[in-house]
Structure 1
Amino acid sequence: MIGIIADDVTGGTDVAVACRRQGLRTGIVFGEPHAHAIDPAWDVAVVALKTRTIPAADAVAQSLTAAKALQAQGADQLYLKYCSTFDSTVDGNIGPVLEALASLVGAGRVVTTPSSPEHGRTVSDGQLFVNGVPLAESPMRDHPLTPMRDSDLVRLLDRQLPAPSSRVLPLDLVRGGSDGLRAAIADPQHDARYVFPDAVTDDDLLTIARAALDAPLLAGAAGLAGALARALVESRPSAEHPTPPADGSGRTIVLAGSCSRRTLEQIDAMADAGRPMHRLDALASQDPAVLAAEALAWYDALDPAAPAPLIYASLPPEQLHAVQERLGIEQSAAILEDAISQVAHGVRDRGVTRFLTAGGETSGAVIAALDVRAGEIGAEAARGVPWIHGDDGTRFLLKSGNFGDPDLLVRASEESTS
């Protein structure tokens, strides 16, 4: 079993489907796993935490608990999944969690890369690019929680480590083949614990995965994890596991909290399609219970035959900044996250069984509110956005803010959850 620890919910679904796509039976557990949450029959078990921006000590503790639970259920290789834009603060939490996991498994060297070409993330000369633009010049520069003002991966990671301990492996070395790359990774002349191989294409990632196939710990975005799954399938006979059966029945709702450009486009598409829409306005009330009650009253007044409605807190940049200036970044986020949680709980009580969520924090809040513990990965509604079949009969589509084409929410809220 490959045991994957993801630092947020949508990152967990993204990496899970990257492995499922290679024919591996993949399950996901939300939050710190209890004894029986991880099915030992899974080829890949993903534990989706919510540790990206919490205090580093808490992130380390939760990640170690997840790692030990995965090992107890048969995981002989661990993978730390972080965001493909290396989302983190100056202090962590990528570095501190990596250090703890490396010590746990006794890893002398750890191969890591945020490269995920299918998502437009590439690494060249140790610099991270987002759709061809250096990370520090991309929209991530102004992220409200984790502004990324540097594109150099070595600098970004070394700031989070007790002492500098990372280096770059150039693209020409990667393209020389997995044997040479494996030797370079293990080269005793270098004492850096973490190595960032350049990767511009999926073939580059596959070379890296083959070179590190037997490593006890790897880290990166979904790109390297998917390549690792492919390399594993290549290395041993493996039967294709069936996708969970289709189940398109049940009432559906769309809940959005992400303020990313793509999510805003998807909300516009919902409006263009004439979908019922209600916005949670933190300036109108700072009481999450009031906001949720208003949203649920609006929902109750809808025609039961109406198409899937949208309840959202997403705002374009200028409106978002106005809210944050008045209420504060953390306070405004907490109000809306709590309100969405209460809405999710309320609509489930009203018979909703299919939930589409936009945004990592939003998805985490919904999963927590509904006390969803685990599920198996089904088919993708968009690249990297799978349906999750909960063991209680619910179905979830947990979308990272930047993922999916503009009509994803419209289309997915109408289609089968296969």
Structure 2
Amino acid sequence: MPTLGAIADDFTGATDLATMLVARGFRTVVAVGPDALETSPSGTDHPALADADAVVVALKSRTAPVEEAVGLSLRALGGLRALGCTRFYFKYCSTFDSTPRGNIGPVTDALLDALGADRTVVVPSFPATGRTVYRGRLFVHDDLLDESPMRHHPLTPMRDSRVDRLLEPQTGRPVSRIGLETVRAGEDTLRAALDDPARAGALTVVDAVDDRDLAVIAGATGELPLVTGAAGLAVGLVGPHPGEARARPASRPGDPGVVLAGSASAATRAQVAHALGRLPHRRLDPAALRTDFDATVTGLTGFVRDCWRTDPGRPPLIYTVAAPEDVEARTPDGAEPAAALVERALARCAAALVDAGARRLLVAGGETSGAVVTALRARTLGIGAPIAPGVAWATTEASPTGRPVTLDLALKSGNFGGTDIFTQAWEQLV
């Protein structure tokens, strides 16, 4: 029976956290939305959930309206409690992606209220991916958040690096900070600082610049019903099955695969550029989708199937952005936004390709990943071999056309992974 329940505000974030939990010895399953938990109050309709140590619920709530994000998160919390979970983790992006209104603050407030808890920590640090917090300021590698590429994010542009200042307009609770010197003084000192009556009811931003700091924070917060942060906070957790928590691959070498890259992030653009000289590829053009959506998608899936026949050893790449100028400059009045159009097209491609025989899919981009998993009608993901910090293969049963098939699926945040991830990820499927 699972005891740790997590709620992630996007699909790549869910697999990011699940990857960390598996590495820490938790048999971990990702549930796709609250509905995957609600089939049975005891989880008996999904033995993988009942057998897990930790369950992570993947939501598509990061940029949803506040009321929708809160509602989905509370449904997920209710499902996790029904499974038997007693500790909870609200997982958001290590770059604290949010709008001025939310959704990090409103969801945290709602979860605390539902649990009857009066305080929690806010820990976006994930040093393995270059995200650290020092004196309350969030860094992306050597750059402050507001000086990093996140400043120009199309959905959640981050224009301040002070986490407390970002959070204060989103919450009705006081926001406090604890500096690195307190963390470095050890678990007892940090626990005492968090228990200070002056922090009653507060959301406390805690500095962390390396994994040792995260381990101290995890140890000092072991009695809190809820913690919040990026996947890095899981570094300090210890699961019951070290070394034996990973799911086995569902596919075999030589099975058809494909890369679907919907992200426009700088990291994904570099990954696309690296792959263009190494993998067969085709760009998805939003303008062509507007002209004839069905024909464009059919052309893309036909290209992939031709590649499988002529060059089966290399998974084809379908990508949207290789350079900033590839981003559609202007959406016609009244038309579907380019980002939503691309997500819908890549989701349609994924469903059609799985129906045609794809058994290995690597998807880049949080919003794209959510659209793809929804189109595949996947309900749970068993986390398998790691590919990069925050990225892993997962096994899932998909049924895009009603015929269930088991496949391997990797969901990659746009900002994660090395430059060669699209060509090297397949080596982990052994």
Question: 1:326: Cα distance to partner?
Answer: 5.2
Partner of 2:424: 411
2:89 to 68, 76, 79: 79
Question: 1:94: Cα distance to partner?
Answer: 0.5
1:402 to 410, 415, 419: 415
2:392 to 370, 373, 386: 386
Equivalent residues in 2 for 1:15-414, closer than 5 Å: 15-32=17-34, 33=36, 34-35=38-39, 36=43, 37=46, 39-162=49-172, 165-227=174-236, 229-230=237-238, 233=239, 238=241, 240-246=243-249, 247-249=251-253, 250-273=255-278, 275-286=279-290, 287-302=292-307, 304-306=309-311, 307-320=314-327, 322-324=328-330, 331-391=337-397, 392-413=405-426
TM-score norm. by structure 2 comes to: 0.91
Partner SS for 1:88: coil
In 2, the alpha carbon distance for the partners of 1:80 and 1:177 equals 24
In 2, the alpha carbon distance for the partners of 1:89 and 1:330 equals 21
In 2, the alpha carbon distance for the partners of 1:242 and 1:46 equals 15
Question: 1:219: Cα distance to partner?
Answer: 0.3
Q: Please tell me the residue identity of whatever aligns with 1:160.
A: Q
Is the 8 Å Cα contact of residues 31 and 56 (structure 2) preserved in structure 1? yes
Partner of 1:9: 11
Question: 1:44: Cα distance to partner?
Answer: 1.2
Partner SS for 1:314: coil
Partner of 2:401: none
**Alpha carbons of 1:2 and 1:64: their partners in 2 closer, same or farther (altered >3 Å)?**
same
Is the 8 Å Cα contact of residues 350 and 372 (structure 2) preserved in structure 1? yes
Question: 1:296: Cα distance to partner?
Answer: 1.9
Partner SS for 2:342: helix
Is the 8 Å Cα contact of residues 15 and 226 (structure 1) preserved in structure 2? no
Is the 8 Å Cα contact of residues 110 and 218 (structure 1) preserved in structure 2? yes
In 2, the alpha carbon distance for the partners of 1:165 and 1:325 equals 40
In 1, the alpha carbon distance for the partners of 2:203 and 2:33 equals 27
**Alpha carbons of 1:305 and 1:244: their partners in 2 closer, same or farther (altered >3 Å)?**
farther
Seq. identity, % = 42
Question: 1:324: Cα distance to partner?
Answer: 3.8
Question: 1:416: Cα distance to partner?
Answer: 4.4
In 2, the alpha carbon distance for the partners of 1:295 and 1:126 equals 46
Is the 8 Å Cα contact of residues 6 and 55 (structure 2) preserved in structure 1? yes
In 2, the alpha carbon distance for the partners of 1:122 and 1:148 equals 15
Partner SS for 1:337: helix
Is the 8 Å Cα contact of residues 270 and 322 (structure 2) preserved in structure 1? no
Partner SS for 1:40: helix
Partner SS for 1:405: coil
TM-score norm. by structure 1 comes to: 0.93
Q: Please tell me the residue identity of whatever aligns with 1:149.
A: R
Q: Please tell me the residue identity of whatever aligns with 1:264.
A: R
Is the 8 Å Cα contact of residues 167 and 192 (structure 1) preserved in structure 2? no
In 2, the alpha carbon distance for the partners of 1:343 and 1:96 equals 35
- Structure 1 consecutive aligned stretches of length 4 or more whose deviation exceeds 6 Å: 327-330
Question: 1:266: Cα distance to partner?
Answer: 1.3
Q: What is the RMSD of the two structures over their aligned residues, measured on CA atoms? A: 1.8
Partner SS for 2:199: coil
Is the 8 Å Cα contact of residues 288 and 338 (structure 1) preserved in structure 2? no
Question: 1:401: Cα distance to partner?
Answer: 0.8
| Alpha-carbon displacement from aligned partner over 1:144-172 (angstroms, at most 9, x marks no partner) | 0000001111111111113x511101111
Is the 8 Å Cα contact of residues 28 and 245 (structure 2) preserved in structure 1? no
**Alpha carbons of 1:385 and 1:327: their partners in 2 closer, same or farther (altered >3 Å)?**
farther
Question: 1:115: Cα distance to partner?
Answer: 0.6
Q: Please tell me the residue identity of whatever aligns with 1:354.
A: R
Please identify, of 390-399 and 88-97, the stretch whose mean Cα deviation from structure 2 is larger: 390-399
Unaligned 5+ segments in structure 1 are none
Count the aligned residue pairs: 408
Is the 8 Å Cα contact of residues 282 and 323 (structure 1) preserved in structure 2? no
In 1, the alpha carbon distance for the partners of 2:264 and 2:242 equals 41
In 1, the alpha carbon distance for the partners of 2:223 and 2:198 equals 21
Question: 1:399: Cα distance to partner?
Answer: 0.8
